[in-house]
Chains A and B, each alone.
Chain A
Amino acid sequence: EPEVTQTPSHQVTQMGQEVILRCVPISNHLYFYWYRQILGQKVEFLVSFYNNEISEKSEIFDDQFSVERPDGSNFTLKIRSTKLEDSAMYFCASSSGQGTTEQFFGPGTRLTVL
């Protein structure tokens, strides 16, 4: 069964460093998403991506963040100059359509900023 994969499963970085979180969505999906969950808090939407551009983003997704689909299979989230408060579980998701179409989630990358 097709699934969304994410690497690494756990990333530890020093404050101020840049990190890239990687995701491989399901191959025939067209819509891609990043969500994050700070420990003990809700899962929060960050950004959605379609047709090689951002279609929606939340207030959290500021200039520190960027997304890219560099090669037609990977979908990446870059976080520049990481802060302690960026520590969270980051989930990638993909879907074949909009609205009620199911979003398939990856297992997440746990980012720890020291």
Chain B
Amino acid sequence: AQSVTQLGSHVSVSEGALVLLRCNYSSSVPPYLFWYVQYPNQGLQLLLKYTSAATLVKGINGFEAEFKKSETSFHLTKPSAHMSDAAEYFCAVSEANAGNMLTFGGGTRLMVKP
């Protein structure tokens, strides 16, 4: 069975600082991994996804994530936070033999201080 753990339900950074949101997964087969962002009163929007091609994945809004099989991790980073990055971020996993079902982590609320 697949599962996702996001360390830190709340992360606070200053504007311009590095953003690091942690995600660890458990999967019995090579996983597909996703990061979604949710702004207030909106649906989840895909930031980026890992599909077994390049291990460093670039997404929208300057975010990127690196798949590390040895650490079963898929941490999300951005070099310089903007106020507009304040939102909830969800890591999710699906397995090739488990159809389209996404299993989500608990989410991390990112706060950006001026």
List chain A positions with a Cβ less than 8 A from chain B: 3-4, 31, 33, 35, 41-45, 48, 55-56, 58, 91, 93, 95, 98-108
By the criterion CB–CB under 8 Å, are A100 and B102 in contact? no
Please, how many angstroms separate the alpha-carbon atoms of A100 and B90 in the complex? 16
Q: State in angstroms the CA–CA spacing of A108 and B94 once bound together.
A: 21
- Shortest Cβ distance from residue B35 to the other chain A in the assembled complex, whole angstroms: 12
Contacts of A99 in B (CB 8 A): 32, 51, 94, 96, 100
A105 pairs with B100, CB closer than 8 A: no
Q: Which residue of A lies closest to B96 (CB)?
A: A99
Task: Please name all residues of chain B whose beta carbon is closer than 8 Å to the beta carbon of A102 when the two chains form the complex.
Answer: 46, 49
Annotate B103-114 by CB proximity to A: 1 below 8 A, 0 otherwise: 111110000000
Out of A55, A103, A104, A107, name the residue touching B102 (CB < 8 Å): A103
Cβ-closest chain A residue relative to B103: A45
User: Contact check: which of A43, A48, A104, A107 meets B104 at CB < 8 Å?
Assistant: A43
Q: Which residue of A lies closest to B9 (CB)?
A: A40
In the complex, are the beta carbons of A91 and B43 less than 8 A apart?
yes
Q: Please give, as numbers and ranges, the residues of chain B lying within 8 Å of A45 by CB-CB distance.
A: 101-103
Interface string of B75-102 (1 = CB under 8 A from A): 0000000000000001010101011111
B41 within 8 A of A: yes
Tally of contact residues, B, Cβ under 8 A:
24
B42 located at the interface, meaning its Cβ lies under 8 Å from any Cβ of chain A in the complex: yes
* Interface 0/1 of B6-27, CB less than 8 Å to A: 0000000000000000000000
Q: How far is the CA of A36 from the CA of B11 in the complex (A)?
A: 24
B45 to chain A: which residues have CB within 8 Å?
Answer: 105
Q: List 19 A-B contacts (CB under 8 A).
A: A3-B43, A4-B43, A31-B100, A33-B100, A42-B104, A43-B90, A43-B107, A48-B100, A56-B100, A91-B44, A99-B32, A99-B94, A99-B100, A101-B100, A103-B100, A105-B45, A107-B41, A107-B43, A108-B43
- B99 pairs with A107, CB closer than 8 A: no
Q: In the complex, which residues of chain A have a beta carbon less than 8 angstroms from the beta carbon of B41?
A: 107
